[in-house]
Structure 1
Amino acid sequence: MTSSADPKARRRLIALITVGVLVLVLAGIGVYGLLTGPAPRPDAPGGGHDPAPTATTPDGDGRELPAPRPVVASDDPEEFARNVATSLFTWDTGSGLMPLDYQAIIVEAGDPSGTEQAGLANDVAAYLPSREAWTDLRQYDTSQHLDITSASVPAAWEDALSQAQPGQIAEGTTAITIEGTRHRDGVWNDEPVTSTHEVAFTVFVVCGPTYDTCHLLRLSELDNPLR
């Protein structure tokens, strides 16, 4: 590579680390199929607060690589929403995994009725880099995590509940708006490169009495939360 190309490559790296992932505009924010709610399942798995163990997965050479950490279960809506947000924003391109691996671990925390599974998978994919962007970021050992600054039920959700007809929204369905700072770290010419970006989004969950533990329904568009 010539010296004249280095500034261009560096600018590309900064852009990849700094610019947020592109997301699809989801029609009818706050609707998401929640008006009918999930079908209650008497055999739904029970709740719990014990953190899940960190998993590993072998690579092609038989070495153990860190796997995405599962969303920690909780029967408290705010705590669960925070756990979802933490898992959603935590990834490492140097792990040997791909975006689909991180997507799958979030979808596993979804409503067990499967009503929102396809929509949730699309929501999560919109928060992750594309496969092409991931390959570029991997060259710079890019990783990401989230510092949460606030989590609360937005007024818009309270209004929606007050206007809903009996039975329109499953009992225990809640919207939690998360605000925080996304951190991305990478390496350029053996020197660390870091960026921060303020983010906000809404996590829709369903908890008791519909289920013994909370489950993820949908996610709002990134930086377009309910207020």
Structure 2
Amino acid sequence: MKTSSSSFPRGRLIALIAAGLARLILAGVGIYGLILGPRTTSTPAPEPAPSTSHTPTTPGPSSSRLPVVPRSVDPETFARNVAEAIFAWDTTSALMPVDYTAAILDIGDPSGTEQAGLASDLATYLPTRDAWIELRKHETRQHLTIDQAVIPEAWADAVAQAQPGQIAPGTAAYTIEGTRHRDGLWNGEAVTSEHAVSFTVSIVCTPAYPTCHLLRLSQLDNPLR
């Protein structure tokens, strides 16, 4: 006969998968970056040909390939690509959180102005190195399904109230609402968890640059509305 104590480790793992030992102190909303956008007068370097297709970025089992965020000239498509990429990771791969961070920074502000802030934002979305090592013991993976991506009213108000030249042309914000899915193993048995998430991505597209780039992220579950 099983005792109640035998179910505790599994419940603890489910909580571990749900929380991921992620950092609890979240970075700021990044309103400064949202409003000002990139500040550069230089000519951007040539970039890969943009695509308007929407390609999921969920990693496969044991994949060691570096993640790549699909580029796009379409703002909403790019915002969705970014959102999926941020939540798509696999501890069974040879990669570490820094590799996933680097992939996101690769499509960040070309001027470099927002890169430090974006790196700080990303640190609150990904597990720490120690948490990653612990999650790897349970073959934990994660991906995001998106319910909607909308331009928040708060952003529209900011644009309407901005002074001429304050917001770079092509700058936009999209609030993403969706479900974070995690799965792993406990004593050879599969366990899963789902958690609703919401956040805002600030991006800049044409005419400022030939293709879209990521500027900043809001606090997780504290998006612009």
> Smaller-chain TM-score range?
0.7 to 0.9
Q: Would the alpha carbon gap of residues 145 and 65 (structure 1) be closer, same or farther in structure 2, given more than 3 Å must change?
A: closer
Structure 1 runs (4+) deviating above 4 angstroms are 3-8
Distance in 2 (CA, whole Å) between partners of 1:43 and 1:177 is 27
Residue 169 of structure 2 is matched in structure 1 by 171
Residue 61 of structure 1 is matched in structure 2 by none
Displacement of 1:167: 0.8
Residue 92 of structure 1 is matched in structure 2 by 90
Distance in 1 (CA, whole Å) between partners of 2:11 and 2:95 is 25
Segment of structure 1 superposing worse, 4-13 or 158-167? 4-13
Amino acid at match of 1:48: P
Displacement of 1:15: 1.6
Amino acid at match of 2:33: Y
What TM-score results when the alignment is normalised by the length of structure 1? Answer: 0.86
Amino acid at match of 1:13: L
1:132-179 deviation digits (Å, cap 9, x = unpaired): 111111011000000001001000000000000011111111001001
Residue 208 of structure 1 is matched in structure 2 by 206
Q: Would the alpha carbon gap of residues 80 and 176 (structure 1) be closer, same or farther in structure 2, given more than 3 Å must change?
A: same
Displacement of 1:192: 0.7
Partner SS, residue 211 of structure 1: coil
Residue 33 of structure 2 is matched in structure 1 by 32
Amino acid at match of 1:16: L
Q: Is the 8 A contact 2:28 2:219 kept in 1?
A: no
Q: Is the 8 A contact 1:40 1:210 kept in 2?
A: no
- Say whether residues 1:19 and 2:19 are aligned partners: yes
Displacement of 1:7: 4.5
Residue 49 of structure 1 is matched in structure 2 by 51
Q: Would the alpha carbon gap of residues 36 and 129 (structure 1) be closer, same or farther in structure 2, given more than 3 Å must change?
A: closer
Partner SS, residue 95 of structure 2: coil
Percent of aligned positions that are identical:
55
Q: Is the 8 A contact 2:92 2:140 kept in 1?
A: yes
Distance in 2 (CA, whole Å) between partners of 1:115 and 1:87 is 22
What TM-score results when the alignment is normalised by the length of structure 2? Answer: 0.87
Displacement of 1:22: 3.0
Partner SS, residue 50 of structure 2: coil
1:29-52 deviation digits (Å, cap 9, x = unpaired): 422374263314323334511779
1:40-83 deviation digits (Å, cap 9, x = unpaired): 4323334511779x9xxxxxxxxx95224211010111100000
Q: CA RMSD in A?
A: 2.4
- Give the unaligned 5+ runs of structure 1: 55-63
Amino acid at match of 1:10: R
Distance in 1 (CA, whole Å) between partners of 2:66 and 2:181 is 17
- Give the unaligned 5+ runs of structure 2: none
> Which one of the candidate residues 128, 133, 136 is aligned to 2:134?
136
Residue 59 of structure 1 is matched in structure 2 by none
Aligned length: 216
